[in-house]
Amino acid sequence: MKIVYEIERLSTNGGIEHILTDRVNYMAERWGWDITILVILKEDKEPYYKLSPKVKTEYLNVKTSGIVMCIEALWKLNRAVKRINPDIYVTFQTMGALSCLLRTHKTKTIYESHIAREYFNHPLALKIAERYADCVTVLLEQQVIDFPKAKNIVAIPNFTQIISQTSPDYTNRLVVAAGRRSPQKNFERLDRLWREIRPCHTDWELKIHNDTKDMTAAYLEASVFVMTSRFEGFGMVLIEAMSCGLPCIAFDCPYGPREIIEDGKTGYLIPYDDDNMFVAKLKYLMEHPGVREQMGKAAKESVKRFSRDAIMNKWKNLYSQILSP
């Protein structure tokens, strides 16, 4: 199988860059597929995430911005796809949507949506992708209804590379959260809720990791994971924390937590406006190490459905389906 991916840049440590790198490395190394990544923008840095030497990259070196950048990028993308002649062409983000509309090649094209439609900055781009891509993929079943006009739409979640052979010490008195400091993650709310809990549990600590390379170690030193996001594209940190054996508490924000946490079994899913319930459930877990351990072990078992092999087989099946007559 020969596949071409298009992406704006590879030098940043974004979620799409990380996911794409993990996926293409697997395809090239495990399946021996012919993979090329077309990088639109000119970059002076190496890819942030390590690519397999079996994965080919081509830089289109587009330097300008605005309309001129779009015209140049689309012209170069079309030329490259025609020359490489892949079985499937995969696109992302705004430029990817435009390439679905203005493609001059006949290669089957997939548009991957990695953020909930209502939070995407360029809604017109998604309308274009929905209409002109041969297939649209989303991360969660909840998001399938967001693309009613798509020719074909499939939900395939991200996978986690974190596979911990050990479990936390559930007597540890540490609550952990992770993510960049941004309005989306809503850590101000978590700080406020923690101030309500702290006076009764002075021997406990809350750590918020904003940029930690080795998150496995960060998860394993804690005994509870919490999330207070306003919205998520998927909620990858929940899966990572659960794969390390942490019970999780999260507000039922769009999108992700509802399809990841089994309420009362692997953690607690809290109605988004109910601060009191969040505080009560967190206090309960903090006061009951046996419950933390029971839920943490159930969480670790539950997220096996997000393993790399399980998710990559979903991609293989999708590509085969798209190419079948």
> Are 60 and 80 a contacting pair, CB within 8 Å?
yes
Neighbours of 206 (CB within 10 A): 20
How far is residue 289 from each of residues 94, 164, 174, 194, 299, measured CA to CA in Å? 46, 20, 12, 19, 15
Looking at residue 37, its pLDDT comes to 98
Peptide bond just before 219 cis, omega within 30 deg: no
- Give residue 291's identity as a one-letter amino acid code: V
Q: Measuring CA to CA, which residue among 249, 241, 181 is closest to residue 216? A: 241
pLDDT at residue number 213: 67
CA dist., res. 246 & res. 249, Å (int): 10
Cβ pair 14, 46 in contact under 8 A: no
Amino acid type, 302: S
Determine contact, residues 26/312, Cβ cutoff 8 Å.
yes
Which residues face 90 on adjacent strands? 5, 110
CA distance 244 to 301: 10
Angle at which helices 187-197 and 275-287 cross, to 10°: 60
Query: What is the rounded CA–CA span in Å between residue 209 and residue 302?
Result: 24
Average pLDDT across each block of 10 residues of the chain; the chain has 325 residues. List them in order.
96 88 97 97 91 97 84 95 98 92 95 87 90 96 93 94 88 95 94 96 96 85 97 90 97 94 98 98 98 97 93 97 89
Which two structure tokens, joined as six digits, stand for 112?
């991957």
